Chains A and B, each alone.
Chain A
Amino acid sequence: MSIIALDGVVALLGRFPALAGVDLDVGAGEIVLLQGPNGAGKSTLLRVCAGLQRIESGRALVLEHDVVSHRAAVRRSVGLLGHDTALYDDLSVEENLRFWARASRVDVDAVDGALDRLGVADRLRDVPVRHLSAGQRRRTALAAVVVRRPRLWLLDEPHAGLDQQGRDLIDGLVRQAATAGATVLLASHELDRTMGLASRHVTVAGGTITEDRTI
């Protein structure tokens, strides 16, 4: 079964064609690395898969749901870590995660476990997010994704701002998710690290896929 099936997808950012006819088929349990220069269309591709980007033409199915006609179902099934962390500065780490768990209608009790998995120390859980470092914010944002237990993980530069321990944690988390049957699509410029993590390398340039290699 295809988790992601894109067929001739065209997407615009303003008037600029960010995706210019993308075809991509990703199966369950795959870890796919999206690589390419800045502005290649990697983040837009992730947003299309999350049901957050309008597509001008083509067809996009995610978890067998059409991203246009069944947008809500797509959104509920994916976990997206973008450049923004979507955390509220004046709420504590735990309050943020509890809010997003409730909003996503998932088990609030999963919050503690997710913070443990991301190595967010107990002493930080009652701290307002505004006092966290960039790396701690990133970990907290990823914990919010973990709480949702998504079937499709969409990670945009997940290692950005993290120390070595944090990067190792992310890699472990991605591997665990794939082993558990989830699919991971991650965009990264850190090729040395992510090359070994991914089972497939997709190169995006100028809004199209120029290379697609399975390792």
Chain B
Amino acid sequence: MWRDVVLVAGKDLRIEWRSRVTFSQVVPFAGLVLVLFGFALDANRPVLERATSGLFWITIMFVTTLAVQRSTSIETTDGARRALLLAGVEPVAVFAGKAAAVAVQLLAVELVLVGGIVVLYGAEIDSFLLVVATCLVATVGIAAAGTLLGALVAGVRARETVLPILLLPVLAPVLIGATRAFDDALGSVAVDGWAWIGMLAGFGLINLVLGALSYGVLLEET
């Protein structure tokens, strides 16, 4: 199975590397959102500082919808989903491989955005370890939930608009948990960030299990 996970993830990342969608479109989009949030709140600097964590993760939510749509369309555009079934690739491997590829792309965007909040918002990082842990754990859950919902809407005609409607509410716990953990890491609010990491890990685990169990059905039926 792991061989297929690596095969699928490698394929998706190679496609991304060739198309440069993440770097030429998604990263600039994320940067633009961050800048616009900055424009909107810059007049009230204390509010901007307190809201930095939330703005960072809201931007990641927007980016996630783009990354998941792209990941889904790779398989649906020319019937590759059916070919994956014919090839005998385990659905759980397809799920894990695609989620891993989305996670790598999101982590790359997060790396850029962390730099963005430091430069644009003047954020100061108290705990690099907590920032890294939050990004890693939250991204696993985001990628798993996104990949699962991407498969769910794959057969829907207006999936570009349906996906965000389904995905953003599902990701609300990540938004809350990751924002609190980042608040601690940036020292903007006195909370226990590691406790929120635990919640994020639970969310990720639930979505990984759900995806592993249901992705095959979605691959067959949509």
Binding site for B on A (CB under 8 A): 50, 52, 72, 75-76, 78, 80, 82-91, 95, 99-100, 102-105, 128, 144
- For B18, list chain A residues within 8 Å (CB): 90-91, 128
- Complex: how many Å from CA A3 to CA B76? 30
Knowing A52-B82, A85-B79 are in contact, say whether A91-B11 is a contact too (CB < 8 A): yes
Q: Closest residue to B8 on the A side, CB-wise?
A: A103
Q: How large is the interface on B (under 10, 10 to 19, 20 to 34, 35 or more residues)?
A: 20 to 34
Binding site for A on B (CB under 8 A): 4, 7, 11, 14-15, 18-19, 74, 77-80, 82-89
Q: Are B83 and A76 in contact (CB under 8 A)?
A: no
- For B83, list chain A residues within 8 Å (CB): 86, 100, 144
A-B pairs under 8 A by CB, number: 63
Q: Closest residue to B81 on the A side, CB-wise?
A: A86
Question: What 8 A-B pairs are tightest by C-beta distance, nearest first?
Answer: A84-B79, A86-B83, A103-B87, A90-B18, A104-B87, A90-B15, A90-B19, A76-B88
Q: Are A100 and B87 in contact (CB under 8 A)?
A: yes
Tell me, rounded to whole Å, the shortest Cβ–Cβ distance linking B22 to chain A: 12
Q: Closest residue to B78 on the A side, CB-wise?
A: A84
Q: Are B11 and A99 in contact (CB under 8 A)?
A: yes
Knowing A88-B80, A91-B18, A99-B11 are in contact, say whether A52-B4 is a contact too (CB < 8 A): no
Tell me, rounded to whole Å, the shortest Cβ–Cβ distance linking B160 to chain A: 18
Q: Closest residue to A76 on the B side, CB-wise?
A: B88
- For B74, list chain A residues within 8 Å (CB): 88
Tell me, rounded to whole Å, the shortest Cβ–Cβ distance linking B83 to chain A: 4
Knowing A90-B15, A91-B11 are in contact, say whether A75-B86 is a contact too (CB < 8 A): yes
Q: List 5 A-B contacts (CB under 8 A).
A: A80-B86, A88-B78, A90-B18, A103-B87, A103-B88
